[in-house]
Amino acid sequence: MNIKQIVNMTFCAAILTLSMTVFMPNLVFANSHYLKDSKQETTINLTEDDLKENLLLKINTANNFSGNIKLNGKNIKKIEGNSTEISLLKLLKKGKNIIEINGVDKSIGSTLRVELIGANTQISQESGGSGDIQHILIIYVP
C-alpha cells in the first residue's frame, strides 16, 4: 500500500462516518451517562414541630420505572405509574428510620424525582438516566 491509498481510505472512512447521521437518523450511539446506575442519600433531622403535620413522600417518574419503597427494611409500597405518594407520619418510629426507594428505569434520559414534604421540610432529590436507581432517605425522629 502506498501513501496515496492510505490517504484515500482514511478520507472515505471519514466521509462514511460523517454521513451515518444523514442516512441513518435513528442510529443512537450509547452515552455512558445514561447507562450508569444511580444512588443518592440524604439525612434529615426532624423536629417536634415537623411531627405536628403530615409528612408526605412523593415520587414522580417515567412510565418505564418499576420499583418499591422500603421503610427500615420492610416493603411499604410498590411504585406504580408516574406518581406515587405515601404518608409517613404514622409509619416513622422514634430514632433512625431508613427509607429506600429502589427500582429500575428502562427509559433513556428520563428523570426520577423524590420529594419529602412536611410543615417545615422540603427535600427533593432527582436523578436521570437509566438502570438501577436507589434513593435513600435517613430520617431521625425525636
Residue-level pLDDT, tens digit, the chain, 142 residues: 688 777 777 766 666 665 555 544 444 443 333 445 667 788 889 988 888 889 999 998 876 778 899 999 999 999 877 889 999 999 999 999 999 998 887 776 667 788 988 888 888 888 766 678 888 999 999 9
What's the pTM value of the predicted model, to 2 decimals? Answer: 0.69
* 110-114 long-range Cβ contacts below 8 angstroms, 24+ apart: 110/61, 110/62, 110/64, 110/65, 111/61, 111/62, 112/38, 112/59, 112/60, 112/61, 112/62, 112/65, 113/58, 113/59, 113/60, 113/61, 114/57, 114/58, 114/59
Query: How many domains is the chain partitioned into structurally?
Result: 1
Q: Would you say residue 21 lies in a domain?
A: no
Query: CATH number for the domain including 67?
Result: 2.60.40
Range of the domain at 64: 35-141
